[in-house]
Structure 1
Amino acid sequence: MAVALPFALLCVLCAAIAWIDIRDGIIPDWLNLAIAALGLLRIWTTADLSAAIEAIGEGIVIGLVFWLLRRLYFAYRGIQGLGLGDVKFLAAAGIWVGVVGIPMVLLVATMTALACAGVMQLSGRALTAQTSLSFGPFLAAGLLLTVGLQQTGIGF
């Protein structure tokens, strides 16, 4: 029960993020904060305070790295490639999966986004370098799959 309930709540929060990001093109801060708080609560109840503090540190570092990548991409291309909500989501996801889980979250997110873009292209929708695609739903799928794999002990 201590594992299933937080994961079920994470599923609900990720579904809300996916829906809102598809509909409005934004990931609300309160949802990112709810994911981070739920992750901290899970760690604190299953481990201890020091593990929760470590998870906060990992989340901050992950957020800073992706914020820096966002800034560098904008400086290079002159357009935003990653939304600030996505950066905040990755920081919150880092609390759940740690630094070691973020590559898996990104792999799943990018592969599903690429598959979606391929289906859109094959269905006749014209995609250009300026086409915008909400990345939140794909990040949410990546987080859920990664957390699920970590909870079953598969891989990392």
Structure 2
Amino acid sequence: MIARSLVPHPDRAAVGISLVAAALLAALPAESLPRLLAAMLITVLVGWIIWQDAVTFTIPDGAVAGIVMVGAALRLGEGLEALHDPRLVIAGLTVDAVFCAGTLLLLRELFYRRRGYDGLGFGDVKLASAGGVLAGVQGFAWATFGACALALAFVLVRRVAGRPMGARDRIALGAFLAPAILLVWALGRMVPSLDATGF
């Protein structure tokens, strides 16, 4: 793959860059420049997820880990800025991550038991965890709704174009879910009344 020849270990690179970004977000005052850089990094990571999932039906662990680290640093910084107890903020984002991942894991298991084959990959479950950290449970619920609506529209467009999809044809859910999470998170930043993380 071209990306692997340009960056031999993209997952490690993403984790390293995200770790530095998270440390900077924690060390610097909550101003617009660090938040803008965090938004740019999250956008790049989401773009990577879209591309890789659409091409290979896999979601890069480095991108998911990067979103978790940057999202956690942002939420922790916002919680401290609002004078919340850091332990409560960490507990809140942990609950959000576990609940979102657990929901998709349960759906994955139910689908497998009913149909006998996997309908969701573990990459989608990990992405759900990152979505919970970044956007909160409510934000992730809206992102999931939007991603499913986009995926259904994609199936409809293919059908209208004369290329219908069968019951066993795969859809790269992460390619729809990642930008939906980004959009919900960005809307929460631009319109604070829509922020679902509680900070």
TM-score (norm 2): 0.73
Q: What residue number does 1:151 align with? A: 189
Work out whether residues 108 and 141 of structure 1, in 8 Å CA contact, stay in contact via their aligned partners in 2: no
Instruction: Provide structure 1 residue ranges, at least 5 long, that are not aligned to the other structure.
Output: none
SS of the equivalent of 2:138 reads: helix
Deviations 1:34-58 (A, max 9, x none): 1111101111222233313320221
> Which residue of the other structure, out of 41, 47, 71, is the alignment partner of 1:15?
47
- Which one scores higher on RCO, CA 8 angstroms, separation ≥ 6? 1
Measured after TM superposition, the shift of residue 94 of structure 1 is: 0.3
> Which residue of the other structure, out of 109, 120, 135, is the alignment partner of 2:158?
120
> Bigger radius of gyration, 1 or 2?
2
The share of aligned pairs that are identical, in percent, is 29
Task: Between 96-105 and 52-61, report the one with greater CA deviation.
Answer: 52-61
Runs of 4+ aligned residues of structure 1 deviating over 6 Å after TM superposition are none
Work out whether residues 155 and 164 of structure 2, in 8 Å CA contact, stay in contact via their aligned partners in 1: no
**Shift in alpha-carbon separation, 1:53–1:5, aligned structure 2, 3 A:** farther
TM-score (norm 1): 0.92
Counterparts of residues 68-87 of structure 1 (less than 5 Å): 68-87=106-125
RMSD of the TM alignment (CA)?
1.5
Deviations 1:81-111 (A, max 9, x none): 1111011101111001111112211111011
Measured after TM superposition, the shift of residue 117 of structure 1 is: 1.2
Work out whether residues 21 and 137 of structure 1, in 8 Å CA contact, stay in contact via their aligned partners in 2: yes
Work out whether residues 62 and 90 of structure 1, in 8 Å CA contact, stay in contact via their aligned partners in 2: yes
Work out whether residues 104 and 146 of structure 1, in 8 Å CA contact, stay in contact via their aligned partners in 2: yes
Q: What residue number does 1:133 align with? A: 171
Instruction: Provide structure 2 residue ranges, at least 5 long, that are not aligned to the other structure.
Output: 1-31, 81-85
